Structure 1
């Protein structure tokens, strides 16, 4: 996976690149601001599998830099990262078509899993940011307690293997639950199911 990390803190860039490359399967480049980000994407032979942007780095201008980068990266995923969640970040990130939001407080293992998840085309958002302020709880649309547990994993951006480990179930069982959840929520895929769940206050 070809990843571009954009952050104005050199130490964070170096630590994140070192950790990802040590995990294997990642080729990581880093830049320090938005102009460098856009230039590097333009110069690349192919779009990056994932671009991760620091919300507060020079040139970002709030969410404008996120939107510019999404347009520049030819439809490949772009995610936002920050030490503090800006107000309304979940709704804004999803509305502009970003791949998700990464808090800098995320444990290293979870960060790697989230990056893999987003590079594969899925959406990642921390569980505590899923429900918009003022969201009204609605009935669970016929979902069983176990299906709601699996749905929470989808909303958290976890892969089937990770959900299976957390629930002490086999991965094929999780796949079946995901299919059932999609059918009950009339969702096209797992990402769509998570979006519907957030809208209905199910996770």
Structure 2
């Protein structure tokens, strides 16, 4: 089942594709022309913006609030936090609920593009683990950086799988096949972990 996109991002009539954001707002176009390219407003502008907002909000929660301090302390020394009279189990239950809520938000945002199913998260789980390993298991900014690298690499391989990559000093055109796309992220993870065992921004505990 594929959910329809919100009406704000599904227009295709007169005035579309839009050439300015004001024209997009007036016509609710699904596509806007930017930098000499066709940009899908929902997939390539709205979802990344929501992702950035969620990223910043979670960082503020973890680093600038009392709850975030308790979460970080509970991960490092649960017994000490409990000795201070804080119910760590309740806090961790709240963290789990927050994670479920974020997963649900991701599912709702992805549904118009990926379709709804009870298995839709499985295709993203491996990429999430790879991104986490690349960025560093102990680093929140590292997880964000790892996700960005995995996404960019996959899109690069998909793009050049269609047009090919010219091998320098030869006439060979290399066209990555579909199985190479997931393999490329695994290879990137292996290379980074061989050089930096804790990931790009991870710290040795």
Normalization by structure 1: what TM-score?
0.25
The structure carrying a bigger strand percent of its residues is 1
Q: What TM-score comes out, normalization by structure 2 length?
A: 0.25
Bigger share in helix = 2
